[in-house]
Chain A
Amino acid sequence: MRFTVSASSGRARLGHLALSGGPDHPVAMATPGYLIYNRCGSDPHLPQSPAGILLTPLNHWLDKLALLRQAGNLRQLCRLRPDRQLLLSLTDHLDYYPTPGVTAQHVGLPTRSGKAPLTVELQAELTLLTSPELVQPLADCEIRDGDGRKRARKSVDRSLAFYDRFVTALEQQGGLGGGGPALMASWVGGYSAEERLRCLRELESRGADGLVVEGFRYYNQPVEDFRLAQCESVLTEALQQQQRSQPPRPLYFPGLVHPADIIRAAELGFDLFDGSLPALLTRRGLAWLTSVTGGSWWLHVGDVELLTATDRPLDPGCCCRCCRQFSLSYLAHLSLSNEILASILLMEHNSARLAAFFNELRSAIGSAESLGGLATKYAAAVVPPTAAVAPLANEQARLKDDEA
């Protein structure tokens, strides 16, 4: 992995992240950028997959170990093209969050079959089976509302110990060195600025290739309820006291879904985000528009009033396939009819919208004034709470709502 910074504006910076992907298939992305949210190698709702870095949470695979070991290679199993590289992370931030169950020996990760323990040794084995370009070593990312400095200290101590043991285990299995993955270390420490700073310094002294912000979102706090403001003061206090590392290391902040928070995090110097917003919006039947319409950034497509919209697409400002080929009426009809195609088309649109947003963000960083203007533009771009929007029907409902 190579990460370079080409320009900066305050703490915000434009960068370039390059992965080897083998000699014939280099994978590169501009930063601030986003990882491709996926489950088990597939982008939710999207049969066709773009190139990029796949966010691959281990909690999706812990209940599929027999299959993974049988296949011997996750890339082969999931038929991943060479232009899709992996960041092997710990937990899916969209649907799950660290469940309680961290000890000195393992971290309990949530799976479909219940909690499963992840040890350093198991993670090292899975790292070799998945061939990621980037890996997030085991860490104690758990946080509950009310946890104090003592708990924060323990999370830092455990995470550093896990990190060191993981590096050793990977070296012993021959998985480090020139061809091995880059290590994206978890930056933990709860809401204690002192512990956050300590963790930051310890990880930098260990030569971590990048950092993943963890341990701010409370146990069972819904993803759309987590706002950057909840932790910004602790973050900035720690960042301000630590020199920017040289060479620069990419900073990844998962679990931020609101566009306004992504802009603010970029202003603080963060480079990578999880690309889970399209999946979050799509499962709720929400489309992210290119401009505020009717006072909102979001349009709920499962609205019977939209059936008469035969003369216009979902979003006239968008060039995705959904907006080029189909009317808003058709999308509304599919959504109201619980058709799988509704979520496929909506996901295509929302994915294109996210890509356009990050293009806008990178363009704005060149000019501090424009970045401030961007923040103002998206200040109201806050994803509505879950209860406010009826979701697109899930698969079980679709199976019941079947044709004669």
Chain B
Amino acid sequence: MSMATSNAAYPLKFNIISKCGTTAARTAKMQLPHATVDTPVFMPVGTKGSLKALTTDELSKLGCRIMLGNTYHLGCRPGPEILSSSGGLHGYMHWPHALLTDSGGFQMVSLSKLCNIDEGGVTFTSPYDGTELRLTPEESIRIQNGIGADIMMQLDDVVHSSTTGPRVKEAMERSIRWLDRCLAANARPTQQCLFPIVQGGLDSDLRIQSLDALASRDVAGFAIGGLSGGEAKSTFWRIVKLCTERLPAGKPRYLMGVGLPLDLVVCVALGVDMFDCVLPTRTARFGVALVPEGQLQLKKRQFETDLRPIDDRCSCPCCTGGYSRAYLATLLKEDGVTLGCSLLTAHNVAYMLNLMSEMRQSLVDGKFSEFVRHFFRLQYPNPTDYPEWAVEALKSVGVSLLSGEDVKKSSCNVDGSGDVEVK
């Protein structure tokens, strides 16, 4: 079994440590200019250069080594010139580890009142002062070069996952042309690498065309876009698997905008290495705590006198500090008090980071399938409640949730050690 590594001259080195012999999951070390990141990895989202009530010191102490910034917002304000003169977003927000920026395309389409797309680029209205702005592939890269993230995303022609018809093909093909313009525009190729984004909507043929075109480009990694937009999960996982199967094995795969803990576990099994989602930070501000069994909505009446910690198995500052569910609920309801939000954000981010850490460890130990089954038992005490799409997706990569056995069971590490047992 080959352990492909990425050794081209990018500011990114991807070294696979261990692969699951049953599923397509693997764990790797991804070396970037500002950090070495263990994958599979969850990247919290600090949209406007801040992670919602958590300081960068606190985020670093939780073990986070890569987070997201949002080009659309940061490009509008404060803008690339100010960021560039501050040592990039790293210096501006005092974040010493790795950063990833998206291109701004998704927010343009979803947030701007006016958005017109042509071959040159996108014309849209600024969310801050209503002026008309133009974002081209070159301009997106210029802004992202100013932000200075370790990983940048190409500007793609974004269509909603529910869009059908010729627009999807048009967007997919245009995205390939825009990718080449983005690659040519990157003024810092030895400091910042660029990921193309696989598009094609929910059409397998279009996805394959996109995959084949992108895989032939000389890039450090790949992103899978155009999903997590409310499409049927049964289609979602099939598209993800289609992409991971056709992307180069030795380069990281980033599934954009995903997702829930369940999505992460299944998609790791399908071969995804990187994820991002606003879930842990956004739900914290609504008083929702993530736990292995699901979610706790702390503002509900049932928690008003619940003096237990969120999760006594959790090692985050909130749970080890002894803060009770009831007290957190009290703090969250007090306007102007940030302690509740800070603690809950820390807990939720810690939960996601710990979930990925457990997956990585299970891959090294050769017990990924057992981890997956254990995860599902905690989330769904009754197996009849297992989401059908997840059962199908995992079965497709050799894990039978319902029978409790693998189609095949083997694992080996890069050095060839480990149990190898084929059923």
Q: How many residues of B contact A (CB 8 A)?
A: 53
Sample of 19 further A-B pairs with CB below 8 A, known A310-B82, A337-B48, A403-B282: A41-B327, A42-B337, A45-B337, A46-B338, A70-B305, A70-B307, A71-B326, A78-B327, A79-B321, A307-B78, A308-B82, A339-B50, A340-B50, A341-B51, A343-B336, A394-B335, A395-B285, A395-B336, A396-B335
Question: Is B36 interfacial (CB 8 A cutoff)?
Answer: no
A60 to B335, CA, bound (A): 12
Are A341 and B55 closer than 8 Å at their CB atoms? yes
Are B336 and A283 closer than 8 Å at their CB atoms? yes
Q: Which residues of A contact B (CB under 8 A)?
A: 39-47, 60, 64, 66-67, 70-71, 77-79, 112, 279, 283, 304, 307-308, 310-311, 325-327, 329-330, 333-334, 336-337, 339-344, 394-396, 398-399, 402-404
A341 to B58, CA, bound (A): 12
7 residue pairs, one from A and one from B, having the closest CB atoms: A403-B47, A42-B339, A340-B53, A70-B305, A47-B342, A341-B50, A337-B48
Q: List 24 A-B residue pairs with CB atoms under 8 Å apart, sorted by A's residue number.
A: A39-B336, A42-B334, A42-B337, A45-B336, A45-B337, A60-B334, A67-B327, A77-B327, A79-B327, A310-B86, A326-B94, A329-B78, A329-B82, A329-B86, A330-B92, A330-B93, A337-B49, A337-B77, A342-B50, A343-B336, A398-B285, A403-B70, A403-B73, A404-B107
Q: Distance in Å from the Cβ of B280 to the closest Cβ of chain A?
A: 13
Question: Is B100 interfacial (CB 8 A cutoff)?
Answer: no
Question: 1/0 per position for B264-276, CB-CB distance to A under 8 A?
Answer: 0000000000000
Q: Which residues of B contact A326 (CB under 8 A)?
A: 93-94
Q: Distance in Å from the Cβ of A148 to the closest Cβ of chain B?
A: 37
Q: Distance in Å from the Cβ of B402 to the closest Cβ of chain A?
A: 37
Are A340 and B94 closer than 8 Å at their CB atoms? no
Question: Is B323 interfacial (CB 8 A cutoff)?
Answer: yes
Q: Which residues of A contact B171 (CB under 8 A)?
A: none
Q: Distance in Å from the Cβ of A34 to the closest Cβ of chain B?
A: 19
A307 to B323, CA, bound (A): 38
The one of A40, A67, A339, A403 that contacts B334, using a Cβ cutoff of 8 Å: A40
The one of B49, B79, B286 that contacts A399, using a Cβ cutoff of 8 Å: B286
Residue of B nearest to A112 (CB): B333
Q: Distance in Å from the Cβ of A81 to the closest Cβ of chain B?
A: 11
| A-contacting residues, B324-364, CB 8 Å | 324, 326-327, 330-331, 333-343
Known A77-B327, A333-B48: A39·B55 in contact at CB below 8 Å: no
A344 to B338, CA, bound (A): 8
Question: 1/0 per position for B106-122, CB-CB distance to A under 8 A?
Answer: 11001100000000000
Q: Which residues of B contact A339 (CB under 8 A)?
A: 48-50, 52
Q: Which residues of B contact A46 (CB under 8 A)?
A: 338-339
Q: Distance in Å from the Cβ of A281 to the closest Cβ of chain B?
A: 12
A326 to B94, CA, bound (A): 7
Are B53 and A344 closer than 8 Å at their CB atoms? yes
Q: Which residues of A contact B338 (CB under 8 A)?
A: 44-47, 340, 343-344
Question: Is B45 interfacial (CB 8 A cutoff)?
Answer: yes
A332 to B150, CA, bound (A): 25
A404 to B78, CA, bound (A): 18
A308 to B307, CA, bound (A): 47
Q: Which residues of B contact A112 (CB under 8 A)?
A: 333
Residue of A nearest to B74 (CB): A333
Q: Which residues of A contact B54 (CB under 8 A)?
A: 341
Q: Which residues of A contact B285 (CB under 8 A)?
A: 395, 398-399
Residue of A nearest to B333 (CB): A112
Q: Which residues of B contact A403 (CB under 8 A)?
A: 45, 47-48, 70, 73, 278, 282
Question: 1/0 per position for B43-69, CB-CB distance to A under 8 A?
Answer: 001011111111100100000000000
Question: Is B322 interfacial (CB 8 A cutoff)?
Answer: yes
